Structure 1
Amino acid sequence: MANTREEQGITSSSDNINAVINDAEKGKSSSIFQSPSFETSGEVTWDGPNNPNDPYNWPTARKITISLIISLSQLVCLMTTSVIAPALPQIATDLNLSDSEAQLAFSIFVLGQAFGPFVIAPMSEVFGRKPVWVVCSIFFILWNSVCPVGNLRPLIIGRFLSGAGGSCGVSLAGPIAVDMFRQKDRGKSLALASLFPYLGPALGPIVGGLVSQYVSWPWLFWAMSIFCAAVLVAGLIFVRETCKPVLLRLKATQQLREAGEGHVTATMVKQSSPDDRLSSRILVGLKRPVQLLLTRPIIQILCLINGIGFGMYILVLSFYATVFIDQYHQSATASSLQYIAIALGSTLSTQTGGHLMDIIFARLLARLPENSPLRDSPPPEFRVPLIVVGILILPIGLFWLGWSAQAHIAWIMVDIGATIFVAGNFLGSQAALAYLFDEFSTHTASAGAAIRLLGNLMGFAFPLFAPQLYDGLGYGWGNSLLAFIWVVTVVPIPFVLWCWGEKLRAIGRK
């Protein structure tokens, strides 16, 4: 009889393990276990709202340090995207590449960024943000270093795979910020996460122009690998795990081991039902971004803002130096300095936009009646006003940029147009990302991967037709065509979100 009771106790404990791990995976929370014998089952959560292990309650200095390191990881990725742009003619000559092959070598990195997050994001929700970030950073370093060794094939393969690995910073920066900052500070957290990355469009071509002119173009790749290695070392020291489901799963496992009175062992923790096995969790995680993209109309709508905007942004990056070389007869080095205007637009918009987002959120929240249930759960539609601002600014910048270059007026006018265009682009996409994170607070990384797919695919495709676009229409009508496409497809979206956002978000929600 004693053996029977012991077996029953072990079975009961094992069932509790499965339940706790499963609930922690889903990010649920409730009271902690009341009894070490587990007679009262429940879900594991933090021991009170002020638990120091909860990333929400970490010291501000720690949050800022982690955000800045992951921000630098994004900078590595965005710099690597554009660093070879000034050196493309030299690379094409040395490797005997055609113009289309050289353009493919530039764009293929963005294609890697499209598919990398579909693995990185769900794996970060299974294994944690930090281990996935570390592995992907090492993966980027290896493949990026291979790019200049050989001919076209290693260059294309290396650029694609390094783009996939390098996308870890872009994929995880937002989710890590959401892990550490509450909804009312969403704008501030996204501004912090984007402090360094958007200097990349300027630093990349500047570094590329200088290195290719005074050293040799293979060092463009090796320099970025060294930079990533330095960021990785800092991350190993200072970055801590932030993913709540992962932290709660570890907490549940530790509690059960400590309170199991000898019945609960490490082996038993691993012996979960088929749905809880690691392979099953990985499979479910890998399918999640695709399922979200296919079944949630709200993600499909937000994809248009992010997708078309990012495609146009990469297109402008690809031809921007050429404008000043062809139209204003500047040197490669001088033309690369013009990318400062793009970095200025992105940095100003993300930093001021982040704080403006929190101000708008607080004011809309204050207007709600005292007894409104929305006070406890503000809707994502509070982000729509800032989306409107960004979406309306972007086409103004495109018109300004295109016709200034077409008319050969002072080069500073082209830079002003580029700054306006980029500011509108990033302001709208940042607010759209905040909308997404408000709706998908549990699986932010997977939702982010889903929304970025279209953007990176367009970022890959748009530069491929840039020469034909501007050769056929010129800079004025070429950019005007892009602006008209934006007005027709994207400008109505904020109205749709404001009026029917709640109904759209409900479709496909389980």
Structure 2
Amino acid sequence: MKELVRDTVVGHLLRSVTRGKVLRFEEERDPSLWKRYVDKEKSGRMAHHGDVEEEKKEEQEGNDTSNENMHEQQRAGVAEGDTTANTRNSSDTRVGSGEARRNEVSGVPVDPEKGRDVSIVSWFGDNDPENPLNWLTGKKFLVTFLICLLTFSVYIGSAIYSAGTEGVMERFGVSQVAAALGLTLFVAGYGLGPMVWAPMSEIPQIGRNPIYIGTLVVFVFFQFAVICAKNFGMLLAFRFLTGLFGSPVLAIGGASLSDMYRPAKRAYAIGIWGIAAICGSRFVKESKNNCGPVLGPLIGGFAAQHKGWQWPIWELLWLSGFSLIVLAIFLPETSPANILYRRSRRLRKLAERDDLKCEPELMGEQMTGKDIVLMTLVRPFSLNFLEPILFLLNLYIALIYGLLYVWFESFAIVFEGIYGFNLGEEGLSFVGILVGAFIVIPPFFLYLYLRLPPACVGAFCIPLCLFWFGWTARPSIHWIVPIIGSGWFSVGAFLLFNSVLNYLGDAYPDYAASVYAGNDFMRSSFGAGFPLFAAAMYNNLGVGWASSLLGFLSIAFIPIPFVLYIYGEQIRKASKRARHDL
């Protein structure tokens, strides 16, 4: 428990207040341990050629050639004055006399031209307990649960608002379309937010936790502004801002799971994370104005029906406030780069050695302000639109997301208009989606080792659901039939979303947060835009043909996972950012 709390927000606060006298690290109790955290091989490479990686073969051959030329000059009797500069080149200092300064930890002479006299702070072994990959299983499960709790607390924010849109119309005197902007702007906010927050979490000096907790504080307190909005413009502005500040977990959550789980286990964690998103997820209806997937409308529908439009927001405030308290106490930092950065800072102070630095810190020293701006603002967009794999898969997932938002428009038409459900009961009609998600988990976990093939199966489940639902939603057929059909959407979306997210995390491990941010940006862009024409489409075409149109559109995208399964390796090898050994 002490190790868990020590690296949380509350833990850092306690250490700061007591000046490090509580929740101490092992090296703080015994400063002589600093040596075990230093990687001698990497320190030697830094001294030798200024990089922690092994010297490239071409450079080694070049050094050998220059060394031979130097000795030939000496044998030929070249004047000493003409060869002084050459005898001080990198080859000579590497093998040379005691005149060359040596790195104390590794004993390797420091190349005066390329080398750096630094001692690289790293994990002290493959089982270093501070490395998130080596955390105890119970600690990983707890952190996974906390990430899911935060995801649920944010995702539910869109659907829970939608349950009270009829009250918003009455309070501010606006139309159905205008009231629905409270949903659209929230979704737009958490689509845009990760494009900034996610890259910031990859900066070693920042890490994941300050982004999680800092933005969640703003998210919680902005709920008061929504509840107390004096006019409709204020309501919309703060709905967008709450979406913007609640958004980091939608991208960084996947990166945190990647920090803790190796590829073979990561897919299971992301699958559970996906269920949290489905449970909190959202949408929509404009006619009679409640919405949602699953628990959002179920929680908000009855509150709005009996207490008014502000009560669902109060529920969101209570849930997110509870999450903030729990995360501040129990959520540790998961970013390996940030953990190493803070370790190197501690060791420099304890050992009184300025040469102790970690690899992420060295990379950060080389970054200019321009580089940081490019990384935080440009890289997510460049990855998303310039990497073919990312663009195609993100486009497909965004389409499914958009179809979800449009399709949910029909739930009010079907279950209120055809089957006579009331506002609260309509929320129960989404339970089929939740049941479908839980049913698909076991076979998906059995199939994980094949990566994209589950997506190939899921691609067919989406049109199956849409055709089934569209043509069975009629008075002559019991309401349970379309509800059963709706479960196929969960099966397809779960297989597609989790297969794609795992694949992207494996294919671009160095840019996980930015990759997930791009995926969320595409999804949310479609999710925010599609509801604007959903009502008109279903009213003009009817449930059957409108659902069929969505089904035909989903069929057009089925080839994407098959193409990437066959040609993905070739596409990755053509990319400078993707893994080539996957």
Using the size of structure 2 for normalisation, the TM-score is 0.73
CA displacement at 1:451 relative to structure 2: 1.8
Residue 69 of structure 1: CA displacement? 1.0
Shift of 1:339: 1.6
Structure 1 residues 432-441 or 193-202, which shifts more? 193-202
Contact 1:206 1:337 in 2 (8 A): yes
Q: Which residue number corresponds to residue 545 of structure 2? A: 477
Q: How far apart in 2 are the matches of 1:273 and 1:313?
A: 41
**C-alpha distance in structure 2 between counterparts of 1:80 and 1:303, whole Å:** 23
SS at 1:276 equivalent:
coil
1:215-234 alignment runs, 5 A limit: 215-234=307-326
Q: Supply the distance in 1 between the matched residues of 2:376 and 2:519 (Cα, whole angstroms).
A: 16
Aligned: 1:290 with 2:290: no
Structure 1 portions without partners, runs of 5+: 1-15, 362-381
Distance 2:534 2:363 in 1: 54
- 231, 235, 259: which is aligned to 1:151? 231
Deviation for aligned residue 1:241? 0.8
The alignment partner of 1:83 has SS state of helix
Cα distance in 1, alignment partners of residues 386 and 341 from structure 2? 28
Deviation at 1:306, TM superposition (A): 1.2
The DSSP-based 3-state class of the residue aligned with 1:451 is: helix
State the partner residue of 1:122.
199
Aligned to 1:503: 570
Give the helix-richer structure, 1 or 2.
1
Given residue 237 of structure 2, which amino acid in structure 1 is its aligned partner? I
Q: CA deviation at 1:248?
A: 2.5
Task: Work out the percentage of aligned pairs sharing the same amino acid.
Answer: 28
Partner residue, 1:376: none
Over 3 Å counting, the alpha-carbon distance change for 1:322 and 1:493 in structure 2 is same
| Structure 2 Cα separation of the partners of residues 195 and 116 of structure 1 | 22
Q: Distance in 2 between matches of 1:192 and 1:68?
A: 9
Residues 314-340 of structure 1: per-residue CA shift (max 9 Å, x gap): 223344234211111111111121121
- Describe the SS at the equivalent of 1:77: helix
Please point out which of 211, 235, 258 is paired with 2:327: 235
1-side partners of 2:315 and 2:278: how far apart?
19
- Find 1:142's aligned residue among 213, 221, 227: 221
Q: Does residue 35 of structure 1 match 2:105?
A: yes
Check if 1:299 corresponds to 2:390. yes
Do the aligned residues in 1 keep the contact of 2:184 with 2:529 (CA within 8 Å)? yes
Mapped to 1, the partners of 2:295 and 2:364 lie a distance apart of 51
- Distance of aligned partners of 1:354 and 1:250 in 2 relative to their CA distance in 1, 3 Å threshold: farther
- Whole-angstrom distance in 2 between the partners of 1:318 and 1:231: 30
Code of the residue aligned with 1:452 in structure 2: it is: D
2: CA distance between counterparts of 1:147 and 1:392? 41
In 1, the alpha carbon distance for the partners of 2:363 and 2:423 equals 61
Distance 2:406 2:339 in 1: 41
CA contact (8 A) 1:305 1:428 kept: no
The residue type paired with residue 312 of structure 2 is L
Of the three residues 426, 431, 442, the one matched with 1:352 is 442
Are the structure 2 counterparts of residues 244 and 124 from structure 1 closer, same or farther at C-alpha, using a change threshold of 3 Å? Answer: same
Aligned length: 459
> For residue 315 of structure 1, what is the amino acid of its counterpart?
V
Q: 1:340 aligns with which of 431, 439, 457?
A: 431
1:417-456 superposed matches below 5 A: 417-456=485-524
- Report if the CA contact (8 A) 2:132-2:260 is conserved: yes
Shift of 1:143: 2.2
Q: Which residue of 2 aligns with 1:9?
A: none
Cα 1:43–1:278, aligned 2, differ >3 Å: closer, same or farther?
farther
Residue type at the aligned position of 1:82: A
Q: Which 10-residue stretch deviates more, 53-62 or 215-224?
A: 215-224
Q: Find the aligned partners of 1:119 and 1:421 in 2 and give their Cα distance.
A: 31
User: 2-side partners of 1:44 and 1:496: how far apart?
Assistant: 43
Which residue identity lines up with residue 471 of structure 1 in the other structure?
N
Q: 1:16-415 maps to which residues of 2 (within 5 A)?
A: 35=105, 41=118, 43-126=120-203, 127-148=206-227, 149-200=229-280, 201-259=293-351, 261=353, 263=354, 275-276=366-367, 280-349=371-440, 351-352=441-442, 355-358=445-448, 361=449, 382-406=450-474, 408-415=476-483
CA contact (8 A) 1:321 1:336 kept: no
Summarize deviations over 1:251-271 as a string: whole Å, max 9, x none: 34444455554x5699xx999
| Structure 2 partner of 1:379 | none
Partner of residue 531, structure 2: 463
How far 1:37 moved relative to its partner? 8.7
Separation in structure 2 between the aligned mates of residue 222 and residue 42 of structure 1, nearest angstrom = 53
Is contact 1:187–1:356 with CA below 8 Å preserved after alignment?
A: no
- 3-state DSSP of counterpart to 2:510: coil
Question: How far, CA to CA, are the matches of 2:303 and 2:236 in structure 1?
Answer: 21
Change (3 A) 1:282 1:34: farther
Give 3-state SS (helix, strand or coil) of 2:445's partner: helix
Higher-RCO chain (CA-CA 8 Å, sequence separation at least 6): 1
- How far apart, CA to CA, are the structure 2 residues paired with 1:135 and 1:279? 24
How big is the shift at 1:86?
A: 2.9
Is 1:321–1:335's contact at 8 Å kept on the other side of the alignment? Answer: yes
Q: 1:206 to 1:444 in 2, by over 3 A?
A: same
**TM-score calculated relative to the size of structure 1:** 0.83
Q: 1:299 to 1:347 in 2, by over 3 A?
A: same
Shifted more, 416-425 versus 272-281: the winner is 272-281
Q: Which sits farther off after the overlay, 317-326 or 434-443?
A: 317-326
Aligned residue for 2:561, secondary structure, equals helix
Structure 2 CA distance, aligned partners of 1:424 and 1:74?
Answer: 21
Residue 282 of structure 1: CA displacement? 5.0
